[in-house]
């Protein structure tokens, strides 16, 4: 759920909580204030700047100073509230931008620039333009997720990656903006927060360039999710009105006594023997509905004040035994003690009128606990660490280790040197301890006046209702501690949030610029390519039509020619078929039947030979045609292998022979002989050929035919002699002419069969079909290649058009994102945060 500006509802409720919790105290303070003439208007923060009390003000009366403290506290509270509110709004807006970017990255993988690591020279050039400091906490999402800021801030992070000092950044950033836009190229450096950690060391930049766009998109998705989680954390942290002070130190240094002294109440057990076994957090009872209660918590991360199942309620009178009992330390991780403080706001630390402060007393440091306490101190919500050291014992090894670590993390520690009353040579003791601090934590030593306090917590009067004033040293400690806590609250809550927003917005600006440029270049390239490809595409379309017509024309022309050639060749062969008879030797009258069959076979073979020649001719012609087709297609489509082959033509086994049967009548043939000038009967007699005998019926029929020709009268007169002569003549003639008769008859019969069966046309068509088939194969190949080339071009066109469209959208989106992030960056920069001024103004 989010509001109309996209701010999550959880954030809104946290903001309401902030207002509700802080306003009453603030108003109460204001009720008591003098006219606003004491306040100076500050244009930067649009709030009034409190008057910082000069050293001369120390001479004014305590009542005036208290009044001034209230004024300043009220004003600081107002400034803090204003900064909080504005940062919360900006966190919400940046979260919305991250959401949009995340969704955009899901729809269309965002371009992630793989900028090379800036070399030393470039780095120093950038540094000269953008002042960078290592004094401001700035934790990245991942760093904070895994390594909470140390000891109240995150200085150690700056050792790894320089961050931008917010106040300087405002100036430097605005100097890099022209007309509300980032200078191209200026930001070409590594990302601060959106840096994709590939865990491959120095090769990461190279690897980025080789990674799939989608993989980079996924990495960016994860990174944006991390950012959103961190923004949520920052929101909760900024909206949280409380501050936590961890009191740690050596065993028996007087930590519990010191906490009691701050509370002006004997709440925690103090003993000469080490007695604190648990972390004890003391909170103002107002946040527990005014009820004084002790909650013993087995698991801190599950603790919920309103859920009794997450803690055990312990009676206040059993508090000592709970804390001192070693078993308590084993059973519980922490004790929360809600306590009332009836003192006035400027006197109480817990109930100070500005912020809810919780004090956490911890078990004394020893070699076992030093690490646990260090981890505890690094927790995000710890704003200040107070280290208590006994003036008698100075720093132990464990104490030194703790301070040494803290110093390495560039943390200021508030040091309380307790039990100072037991020291006789106080100056010497001070010198020695300050020298130790100088070595252990130079940063703290620098501010020793404010951060190192020599006191005797045991001397603070804890009697209820006592009017006895604290020793000046302890009173000063309280005042400095309060200012330090409030100053650190800004440092540990607002500055990290502001810096994170600034760095994230700068990264979003870099990403937007890079994507704008990338989209513009893609748009330009795609438009140019499209324009360039258009004529080629249209040419291909024309080539397709042209080629299809040519293939059709060439192939069909060749087929027709082949058919015609074949028909001509076969017709010629059929006309000359009698030539096929020449090689055959006549075997004699008795084998004339066999001779007739050989004649038929010889003619058939002659025709087959011609058909085979026609087929070969067709192959040759087809080959030439295929060559032409292929060359033509290659001219348009480039080189490609030929698919069709003439070797596959006419390979199917088939009987090409024309078979005619030999019949008896084939041996008799009547011809008109020119020499006889008359019609002479040339009859082939039915003879026994190859064991075959003419039938009786046929013989009678022949004779009857002859008699009818001669005539009945003559027949009767010359019957016998004529018959005898004729018979002899006929017989001689028939026998003599039988070879010619059968040859003539069979040739005629063969030719007739050629005509009757459509032998020539059938083979001409078959051979033409064979040629057409190979042309069709090649034609199909050419067609599909042209089609593929056209489809590839069309696909490319579609892709280019899509790319043009999406790059246009991308340009529009990132232009608007850049404008938004730039405007937001200006607003975030305008949130004025000055921790040192706060500390100064709250010193009484
Ligand atoms: N003389 C003197 N004694 C003090 C002072 N502060 C604390 N003590 C004594 O020092 C002893 C230890 O005090 P605690 O407050 O229990 O010390 P601690 O650091 O909380 O102890 P552990 O939590 O058990 O490590 C007690 O006997 C206190 O009375 C002081 O300012 N002066």
- Ligand 1 centroid, distance to 549 Cα (angstroms): 108
pLDDT band at residue 189 using 50, 70 and 90 as cut-offs: low
Q: What is the pLDDT of residue 659?
A: 87
Instruction: For residues 579-590, give the mean pLDDT.
Output: 86
Asked whether the beta carbons of 219 and 356 are under 8 A apart, the reply is no
Q: Cα–Cα distance between 792 and 788 in angstroms, integer?
A: 6
What are the tens digits of pLDDT across the range 113-152?
875 444 333 433 333 333 222 222 223 333 333 333 333 3
Q: Cα–Cα distance between 297 and 303 in angstroms, integer?
A: 7
User: Which atom of ligand 1 is found nearest the CA of 363?
Assistant: 23
Which range, of 151-155, 530-534, 570-574, averages the lowest pLDDT?
Answer: 151-155
- Ligand 1 centroid, distance to 270 Cα (angstroms): 6
User: Which atom of ligand 1 is found nearest the CA of 253?
Assistant: 19
Q: What is the pLDDT of residue 230?
A: 92
Listed in order, strand segments (DSSP E) in 240-326 are 242-249, 279-284, 293-297, 312-314
Closest CA to 498 of 103, 843, 170: 170
Cβ neighbors of 509 (< 8 A, separation 6 or more) are 182, 187, 818, 821, 822, 825
pLDDT band at residue 466 using 50, 70 and 90 as cut-offs: low
Instruction: Write out 21-40 in H/E/C secondary structure.
Output: HHHHHHHHHHHCCCCHHHCE
DSSP per-residue string spanning 89-127 = HHHHHHHHHHHHHHHHHHHSPPP---PPPP-HHHHHHHH
**Longest Cα separation, the chain:** 194
Q: What is the pLDDT of residue 804?
A: 94
The single residue listed with the structure tokens 């006789």 is 424
**Interface pTM, i.e. ipTM:** 0.98
User: Which atom of ligand 1 is found nearest the CA of 362?
Assistant: 23
Asked whether the beta carbons of 28 and 353 are under 8 A apart, the reply is yes
Residue 247 has pLDDT above 60, yes or no: yes
Q: Cα–Cα distance between 652 and 615 in angstroms, integer?
A: 12
Q: Which DSSP state fits 2?
A: B
CA 155, 157, 160: angle at the middle one, nearest 5? 130
Helix/strand/coil for 611: helix
- Ligand 1 centroid, distance to 262 Cα (angstroms): 14
Residue 686 has pLDDT above 70, yes or no: no
- Ligand 1 centroid, distance to 252 Cα (angstroms): 5
User: Which residue's CA is the closest to the ligand 1 atom numbered 1?
Assistant: 419
Cβ neighbors of 297 (< 8 A, separation 6 or more) are 303, 310, 311, 312, 332, 333, 334, 335, 336
Q: What is the pLDDT of residue 236?
A: 86
Which has more pLDDT, 379 or 425? Answer: 425
User: Residues with Cβ within 6 A of ligand 1?
Assistant: 251-257, 270-272, 274-276, 363-364, 418-419, 421-422, 456-459
Mutate to test the pocket of ligand 1, among 256, 257, 390, 461 (most ligand atoms within 8 A of CB): 257
What are 132's strand-pairing partners? Answer: 164
Asked whether the beta carbons of 715 and 707 are under 8 A apart, the reply is yes
User: Which residue's CA is the closest to the ligand 1 atom numbered 23?
Assistant: 276
Rounded to the nearest integer, the mean pLDDT of the chain is 76
What are 384's strand-pairing partners? Answer: 245
Cβ neighbors of 610 (< 8 A, separation 6 or more) are 569, 570, 572, 573
Cβ neighbors of 277 (< 8 A, separation 6 or more) are 323, 324, 325, 326, 328, 329, 363
Closest CA to 188 of 525, 520, 518: 518
Q: Cα–Cα distance between 812 and 1 in angstroms, integer?
A: 27
Q: What is the pLDDT of residue 32?
A: 35
Residue 695 has pLDDT above 50, yes or no: no
Mutate to test the pocket of ligand 1, among 265, 267, 268, 271 (most ligand atoms within 8 A of CB): 271
- Integer angstrom CA distances of residue 115 from 158, 160, 186, 504, 822: 21, 19, 12, 17, 21
User: What is the total residue count of the chain?
Assistant: 844
Q: What is the pLDDT of residue 240?
A: 79
What are the tens digits of pLDDT across the range 194-244?
888 665 444 455 555 566 677 888 888 999 999 999 999 889 888 877 788
Helix/strand/coil for 211: coil
Instruction: For residues 655-664, give the mean pLDDT.
Output: 87
pLDDT band at residue 3 using 50, 70 and 90 as cut-offs: very low
Strand pairing category for 334-339 and 279-284: parallel
User: Which atom of ligand 1 is found nearest the CA of 274?
Assistant: 24
CA atoms within 13 A on the CB side of 679: 2
Q: Provide the phi-psi class of 46: left if phi over 0, else alpha when psi is between -120 and 50, else beta.
A: left
- Integer angstrom CA distances of residue 820 from 339, 385, 512: 47, 39, 10
- Ligand 1 centroid, distance to 780 Cα (angstroms): 101
User: Which residue's CA is the closest to the ligand 1 atom numbered 27?
Assistant: 272
Q: Cα–Cα distance between 465 and 342 in angstroms, integer?
A: 9
Instruction: For residues 785-803, give the mean pLDDT.
Output: 92
pLDDT band at residue 45 using 50, 70 and 90 as cut-offs: very low
Q: What is the pLDDT of residue 526?
A: 94
Judged on CB neighbours under 10 Å (0-12, 13-18, 19+), 641 is exposed
Residue 691 has pLDDT above 80, yes or no: no
Q: Cα–Cα distance between 282 and 262 in angstroms, integer?
A: 11
User: Which residue's CA is the closest to the ligand 1 atom numbered 17?
Assistant: 254
Instruction: Write out 414-482 in H/E/C secondary structure.
Output: EEEEECHHHCCCHHHHHHHHHHHHHHHCHHHHHCHHHHEEECCHHHCCCCCCCCCCCCHHHHHHHHHHH
Helix/strand/coil for 196: coil
User: Which residue's CA is the closest to the ligand 1 atom numbered 2?
Assistant: 419
- Ligand 1 centroid, distance to 389 Cα (angstroms): 10
| Highest-pLDDT range among 170-179, 330-339, 406-415 | 330-339
Q: What is the pLDDT of residue 573?
A: 93
User: Which atom of ligand 1 is found nearest the CA of 455?
Assistant: 31
Cβ neighbors of 221 (< 8 A, separation 6 or more) are 102, 105, 106
User: Which residue's CA is the closest to the ligand 1 atom numbered 7?
Assistant: 254
Cβ neighbors of 582 (< 8 A, separation 6 or more) are none
User: Which atom of ligand 1 is found nearest the CA of 456?
Assistant: 31
Q: Which DSSP state fits 149?
A: P
Which range, of 36-40, 420-424, 430-434, 654-658, averages the lowest pLDDT?
Answer: 36-40
- Integer angstrom CA distances of residue 709 from 667, 680, 698, 712, 722: 21, 11, 17, 9, 12
Q: Which DSSP state fits 351?
A: B
Asked whether the beta carbons of 248 and 389 are under 8 A apart, the reply is no
User: Which residue's CA is the closest to the ligand 1 atom numbered 11?
Assistant: 272
Which range, of 18-27, 564-573, 774-783, 793-802, averages the lowest pLDDT?
Answer: 18-27
What are the tens digits of pLDDT across the range 363-400?
888 766 666 677 666 666 777 889 999 998 888 888 88
- Ligand 1 centroid, distance to 390 Cα (angstroms): 9
Which range, of 389-403, 547-561, 600-614, 818-832, averages the lowest pLDDT?
Answer: 389-403
Q: Provide the phi-psi class of 759: left if phi over 0, else alpha when psi is between -120 and 50, else beta.
A: alpha
User: Which atom of ligand 1 is found nearest the CA of 249?
Assistant: 19
* Chain-centroid distance, C-alpha 14: 34
Mutate to test the pocket of ligand 1, among 393, 458, 462, 477 (most ligand atoms within 8 A of CB): 458
Indicate the helix (H) or strand (E) that contains 492: none
Instruction: For residues 721-742, give the mean pLDDT.
Output: 80
Instruction: For residues 657-661, give the mean pLDDT.
Output: 89
pLDDT band at residue 750 using 50, 70 and 90 as cut-offs: very high
What are the tens digits of pLDDT across the range 299-348?
888 999 999 999 999 998 888 888 887 776 678 888 999 998 767 666 67
Helix/strand/coil for 661: coil
- Integer angstrom CA distances of residue 578 from 565, 573, 604, 748: 21, 9, 11, 9
Q: Cα–Cα distance between 263 and 361 in angstroms, integer?
A: 12
Mutate to test the pocket of ligand 1, among 248, 249, 256, 453 (most ligand atoms within 8 A of CB): 256
Residue 28 has pLDDT above 80, yes or no: no
Q: Cα–Cα distance between 774 and 627 in angstroms, integer?
A: 12
Q: What is the pTM of this model?
A: 0.60
- Ligand 1 centroid, distance to 421 Cα (angstroms): 12
Q: Cα–Cα distance between 555 and 792 in angstroms, integer?
A: 27
Q: What is the pLDDT of residue 731?
A: 79
Residue 40 has pLDDT above 80, yes or no: no
pLDDT band at residue 65 using 50, 70 and 90 as cut-offs: low
């Amino acid at each position: 759920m989010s509001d109309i500006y996209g701010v999550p509802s959880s954030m809104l409720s946290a903001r309401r909580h902030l207002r509700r919790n802080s306003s009453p105290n603030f108003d109460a303070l204001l009720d008591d204030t003098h006219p606003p003439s004491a306040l100076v208007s500050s244009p930067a923060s649009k709030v009034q700047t409190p008057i910082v009390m000069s050293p001369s003000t120390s001479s004014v009366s305590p009542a005036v100073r208290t009044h001034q403290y209230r004024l300043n506290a009220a004003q600081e509270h107002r400034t803090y509230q204003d900064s909080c509110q504005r940062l919360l709004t900006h966190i919400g807006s940046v979260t919305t931008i991250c959401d949009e970017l995340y969704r955009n990255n899901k729809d269309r993988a965002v371009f992630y620039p793989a900028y090379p690591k800036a070399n030393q020279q470039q780095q120093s050039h950038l540094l000269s333009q953008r002042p960078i400091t290592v004094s401001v906490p700035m934790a990245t999402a991942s760093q904070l997720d895994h390594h909470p800021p140390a000891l109240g801030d995150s200085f150690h992070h700056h050792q790894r990656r320089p961050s931008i000092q917010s106040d300087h950044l405002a100036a430097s950033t605005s100097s890099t903006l022209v007309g509300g836009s980032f200078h191209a190229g200026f930001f070409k450096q590594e990302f601060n927060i959106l840096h994709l950690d590939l865990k491959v060391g120095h090769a990461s930049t190279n690897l980025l360039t080789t990674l799939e766009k989608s993989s980079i998109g996924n990495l960016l998705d994860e990174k944006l999710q991390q950012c959103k989680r961190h923004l949520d954390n920052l929101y909760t942290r900024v909206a949280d009105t409380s501050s936590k002070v961890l009191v740690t130190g050596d065993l028996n240094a007087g930590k519990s006594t010191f906490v009691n002294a701050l509370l002006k109440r004997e709440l925690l057990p103090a003993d000469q023997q080490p007695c604190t076994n648990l972390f004890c957090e003391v909170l103002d009872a107002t946040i527990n509905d005014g009820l004084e209660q002790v909650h013993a918590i087995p698991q801190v991360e599950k603790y919920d004040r309103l859920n009794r199942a997450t803690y055990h309620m312990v009676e206040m009178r059993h508090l000592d035994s709970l804390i001192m009992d070693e078993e308590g330390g084993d059973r519980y991780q922490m004790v929360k003690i809600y306590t009332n403080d009836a003192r006035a706001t400027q006197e109480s630390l817990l109930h100070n009128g500005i912020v809810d402060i919780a004090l956490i007393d911890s078990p004394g440091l020893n070699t076992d606990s030093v690490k646990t306490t260090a981890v505890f101190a690094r927790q995000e919500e710890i704003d200040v660490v107070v280290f208590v050291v006994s003036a008698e014992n100075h720093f132990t090894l464990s104490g030194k280790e703790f301070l040494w670590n803290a110093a390495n993390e560039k943390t200021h520690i508030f040091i309380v040197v307790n039990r100072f009353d037991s020291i006789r040579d106080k100056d010497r003791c001070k010198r020695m301890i300050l020298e130790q601090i100088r070595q252990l934590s130079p940063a703290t030593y620098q501010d020793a006046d404010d951060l190192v306090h020599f006191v005797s917590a045991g001397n603070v009067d804890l009697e209820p209702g006592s009017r006895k004033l604290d020793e000046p040293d302890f009173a000063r400690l309280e005042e400095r501690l309060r200012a330090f806590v409030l100053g650190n609250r800004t440092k540990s809550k607002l500055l990290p949030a502001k810096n994170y927003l600034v760095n994230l917005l700068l990264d979003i600006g870099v990403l937007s610029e890079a994507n704008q440029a990338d989209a513009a270049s893609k748009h330009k390239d795609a438009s140019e390519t499209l324009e360039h490809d258009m004529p080629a595409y249209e040419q291909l379309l024309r080539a397709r039509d042209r080629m299809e017509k040519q293939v059709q024309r060439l192939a069909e022309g060749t087929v027709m020619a082949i058919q015609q050639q074949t028909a001509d060749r076969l017709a010629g062969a059929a006309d000359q078929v009698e030539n096929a008879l020449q090689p055959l030797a006549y075997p004699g009258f008795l084998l004339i039947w066999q001779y007739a069959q050989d004649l038929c076979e010889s003619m058939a073979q002659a025709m087959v030979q011609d058909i085979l020649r026609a087929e070969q001719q067709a192959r040759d012609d087809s080959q030439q045609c295929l060559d032409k087709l292929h060359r033509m297609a290659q001219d348009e489509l480039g080189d490609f292998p030929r698919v069709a082959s003439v070797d596959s033509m006419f390979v199917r086994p088939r009987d090409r022979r024309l078979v005619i049967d030999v019949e008896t009548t084939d041996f008799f043939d009547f011809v008109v002989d020119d020499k006889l000038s008359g019609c002479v009967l040339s009859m082939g007699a039915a003879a026994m050929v190859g064991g075959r005998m003419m039938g009786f019926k046929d013989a009678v029929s022949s004779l009857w035919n002859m008699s009818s020709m001669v005539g009945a009268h003559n027949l009767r007169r010359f019957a016998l002699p004529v018959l005898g002569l004729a018979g002899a003549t006929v017989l001689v003639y028939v026998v003599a002419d039988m070879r010619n008769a059968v040859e003539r008859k069979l040739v005629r019969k063969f030719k007739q069969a050629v005509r009757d069966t459509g032998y020539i046309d059938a083979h001409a068509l078959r051979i033409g079909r064979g040629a057409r088939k190979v042309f069709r194969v090649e034609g199909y190949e050419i067609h599909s290649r042209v089609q593929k080339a056209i489809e590839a071009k069309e696909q490319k066109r579609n892709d280019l058009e899509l790319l043009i469209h999406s790059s246009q959208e991308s340009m529009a989106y990132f232009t608007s994102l850049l404008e938004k992030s730039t405007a937001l960056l200006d607003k975030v920069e305008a949130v004025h945060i000055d921790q040192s001024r706060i500390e100064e103004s709250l010193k009484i």
